[in-house]
Every structure is written in C-alpha cells, then in structure tokens.
A = this chain, B = another copy of it.
C-alpha cells in the first residue's frame, strides 16, 4: 500500500461515518462537496444485507449515528434496531413513508426531510397534469408526432378548467399551493383532510366518497399512511364518475391501482394524471394504450431548483447535528 493511500485510509477512518441508502440524486454533489467531513458507507452499491456490508467495510454498527437516504429503499425497524447509535435520518424526500417512524420515535431518532420548499414544484406538476389530461396535450402531441407532417385536425376536444369543482385530498402545503393556482383558472375548491382547517373557507368533507361525488376532479396530495392507503378505492372512483379526473402527486398507494386501471379502461372515470404509482418503479402497462392518462415518472419534485435546495438542506441538517453532538 502506497503512503498516500495509507494516509487517506487513516483520514477516512477518522471521518464521521455516514450510511447512505438510495442513493439520493444529489449524492454525487453531496459526496464531492463533503468528502472531508464524512466517510461514506455506500450501502446502495452492495447487494449484501446491511450487517454483511458493514462487516466487509470493517465498520462497527454502533459507530453509525446518521443515515442519508431517499425513498428508494426502506429504513425498516430491523435496520434501525441494528444501529444502536443511530440518531438522525436525513431523507431527501418530502414523504417519510419509507422510514419506520414508530421505531424512530421509540429510539428518539430525528428524521429530517431535506426536500426543500418543494410544495410549489409539486403543485406546478399537479396543475400541469390536470391541464394535460383536460386539454389532452400529451395525447395530441403523441398523435402529431405519429401522424407525420400533416397534423390531425379536430380530433382532440378538451374541456375548460373554469367552473370545474376540484376536490383536494390533503390540504397541507402542497394542497394549498394547488388550490391557489387553480383558483386563478376559475375552479371552485373543496377538500378532505384529517380534520377541518380553521380559516379555510373551502367546503370540508370528512368523507372522500362524498367529496368525489361533488367533484369533477380529485387531486391527491396527502401523505401515505395506514389511514390514507387506498383512500381512493372503486367506490370513490364510481362516485367521481365517467367525466371525472384524478390527479395523483402524493403517493401511489393512495389509490387502489388495480381498480384505477380497471375504471380507466372501462370508462368509469374520465382520465388520470399520475406522477406516482403503487409499486414503483413498476407502471401498469395496461395504461400505455390509453389516451386519457398522463404518466409521469415520480418527477414532480425533480426540478433543478429543488435539487439545489435539497442538497443545501441535507448538508446543513447533518452539519448541525454533528457539530452539536
């Protein structure tokens, strides 16, 4: 071993170990900017179980205080219990359904979401998907490109947003940003949430079937948890009706996807704009032949601006943690 390598190795061992799952999209930047702060344990680069990976890396599990992750891999109760000194999990997502929060709470582990102010980005995507489905933009673009030099005339009759009744499921930051945008188009808003919000004048529905029954469009932007899993089931879709449209920028599991595919194929609902899917990265191929569906690969928060922000927040969260511990 050359002197330089030895030196690096020594330095590397003295750095704070940071266990990395995923990896987050920002990881290459993170690694380049922080190689003097952390020893990166790239669990994502190994197929082995965590304990074996750490043994191979000659890392004592009890030396690990921090995880950096994205939602691509679960941080399960088993993982958490295997790392007795774990104190912080930084995820570059806004959602935390990939992390066992109960186990985190039990062990006083801090969970930091370093997704930045991504509510606006997701709301942009939600409105973009809705406009795309209603104005049939992607479908028309696809047909123009297929058709060749002469454009298909008078094939695509969209519908206008003005006057549409929009039911927002989950009126948090994202839902509110969606509502602000859609008000400017002349839509009327109503919502479902865990509980009625003070100071919000939109009609509140405690029952999602009733909300769907009164809506032309459902926009899903609540977190996924045991209460919200399959919050949109067949009954909700039938209540929404044949001209109704669903936009999902929350999590795939909010919808019973098998029923969604069925309802779209049978024309029981009018259309859907989907940024998320129940079993990502799997997208139901039955949807590929449908023109009333717009498919987006969980890209709503992937703006270059958000990624910059996400990097800054992750770096800051870890720096603050290590400097105060």
Contact = CB atoms under 8 A, between A and B. Distances in A.
Interface of A: 25, 120-121, 124-125, 127-129, 131-132, 134-138, 140-145, 148-162, 180-181, 183-186, 277, 280-285, 288, 294-300, 302-307
A157 to B, nearest CB: 5
Contacts of A124: 131, 134-135, 158, 160-162, 185
A145 B302 contact: no
Among A154, A180, A280, A305, chain B packs the most CB atoms within 10 A around the CB of A154
Nearest to A123: B185
Given A137-B132, A138-B137, A282-B150, A295 B144 contact: yes
The 4 closest A-B pairs by CB, nearest first: A128-B131, A184-B184, A151-B297, A144-B295
22 contacts: A120-B162, A125-B137, A128-B135, A129-B137, A131-B132, A135-B296, A137-B138, A137-B294, A141-B294, A141-B296, A142-B142, A144-B283, A145-B295, A149-B283, A149-B284, A150-B281, A151-B280, A156-B297, A156-B299, A158-B303, A158-B304, A181-B185
Contacts of A185: 120, 124, 127, 181
This chain's copy number in the assembly = 2
Contacts of A160: 120-121, 124, 303, 305-306
A261 to B, nearest CB: 13
Contacts of A299: 135-136, 140, 156-158
Contacts of A135: 124-125, 128, 296, 299-300, 303
A302 B184 contact: no
A295 B144 CA distance: 7
A153 B297 CA distance: 6
Contacts of A128: 128, 131-132, 135, 137
B303 A157 contact: yes
B157 A296 contact: no
A302 B156 contact: yes
A148 B283 CA distance: 8
A93 to B, nearest CB: 13
Contacts of A186: 120
A105 to B, nearest CB: 30
A305 B158 CA distance: 9
